[in-house]
Amino acid sequence: MVKACFTGMLASCTIGAMSLLAAPAFAQDGPQPIAPAAPVELSYTAEWSDPEFGRIADLLSGSWRTTSGVSASGGTGSVEIVMTVVPVGLSQVPDALYAEVARADALHRPYRRAIFQLYRHSGSVRLRTLEFRNPEHETVGMMTGLWLAPGLFPDVPRDSLIATLDLVLSRDGDGYRGKTPYPYPTAAGGAVEMTSELTISRDRLTSADRGYDASGNVVWGASGDAAYEYARFDHPFRLEDRDDGVKVIVMRSGDDGIALDDNDQVSLHYSGWLADGTMFDSSLRPGSRALTYQAPGRLIPGWRTATYGMRLGDVRKFILPPDQAYGESGAGNGRIPPNATLVFEVECMFLRRPDDLPAPAGEGEDGHEGHDHNGH
Q: How far apart are CA 227 and CA 206, in angstroms?
A: 6
Beta-carbon count within 10 A of 47 CB: 10
Q: Over range 28-48, report the average pLDDT.
A: 61
Residue 93 exposure: Cα atoms within 13 Å on the Cβ side: 27
What pLDDT sits at residue 332?
86
Indicate if 96 and 245 belong to the same structural domain.
no
Is-contact 305 296, C-beta < 8 A? no
**Residues 246 and 313 reside in one and the same domain:** yes
Say whether both 342 and 287 belong to one domain.
yes
Q: Tell me if 157 sits within 8 A of 168, measured CB to CB.
A: no
In this structure, the answer to whether residues 163 and 243 fall within a common structural domain is no
* DSSP SS3 for 93: coil
Q: Are residues 212 and 306 in the same domain?
A: no
Q: What is the CATH number of the domain that holds 322?
A: 3.10.50.40
Give a yes or no: residue 1 inside a domain: no
pLDDT tens sequence across 73-113: 545 568 899 999 999 999 999 999 999 999 999 999 999 99
Same domain assignment for residues 210 and 313: no
Query: What is the structure's pLDDT at 293?
Result: 94
Determine whether 366 is exposed, middle or buried from the number of CB atoms within 10 Å of its CB (0-12, 13-18, 19+). Answer: exposed
pLDDT tens-digit map of 305-360? 999 999 999 999 999 999 999 999 999 888 999 999 999 999 999 999 987 656 55
- 359 is a domain residue: no
Is residue 233 predicted with pLDDT exceeding 70? yes
CATH of the domain at 114: 2.40.128.590
In a domain, 368, yes or no: no
pLDDT surpasses 80 at 26:
no
What's the one-letter identity of residue 40? Answer: V
Q: Which of 170, 198, 232 is the last residue of a domain?
A: 232
State the pLDDT at residue 374.
37
Q: What is the pLDDT of residue 256?
A: 80
- Segment 179-231, tens digit of pLDDT: 999 999 999 889 999 999 999 999 999 999 999 999 999 998 866 556 889 99
> Cα-atom radius of gyration of the chain, to the nearest Å?
23
Among the residue ranges 45-59, 106-120, 145-159, 352-366, the one predicted with the least confidence is 352-366
pLDDT of 10 above 50: no
pLDDT score at 118: 98
Nearest to 210 by CA among 179, 248, 171, 234: 179
- Asked if residue 371 is part of any domain, the answer here is no
Q: Which of 215, 232, 249 is the last residue of a domain?
A: 232
pLDDT class for 367, splitting at 50, 70, 90?
very low
Question: 262 and 211 in one domain?
Answer: no
pLDDT confidence bin for 257, thresholds 50/70/90: confident
What pTM was computed for the model? Answer: 0.84
Peptide bond into 296 cis (omega under 30): yes
305-319 tens-digit pLDDT: 999 999 999 999 999
Instruction: Report the chain's mean pLDDT, rounded to a whole number.
Output: 85
What single-letter amino acid sits at 104?
A
The Cα–Cα gap between 326 and 67 comes to 46
- Is residue 370 assigned to a domain? no
* pLDDT attached to residue 41: 79
Q: How far apart are CA 137 and CA 101, in angstroms?
A: 17
Q: Is residue 358 part of a domain?
A: no
- Tell whether 210 is covered by a domain: yes
Residues 201 and 245 in one domain: no
Verify that 281 and 248 share a domain, yes or no. Answer: yes
CA distance 161 to 155: 12
Cα dihedral: 182, 188, 190, 194 (round 10): -10
Residues that are catalytic: 270, 280-281, 300, 326, 344
- Residue 116 reports pLDDT greater than 90: yes
Co-location of 226 and 263 in the same domain: no
- Whether residue 247 sits in one domain with residue 153: no
Structural domain harbouring 103: 6-232
Instruction: Please tell me the predicted confidence (pLDDT) of residue 354.
Output: 86
Overall domain count for the chain:
2
Instruction: Produce one character per residue of 220-251: b if its CB has 16 or more CB atoms within 10 Å, e if not.
Output: bbbeeeebbbbeebebebeeeebeebbbbbbb
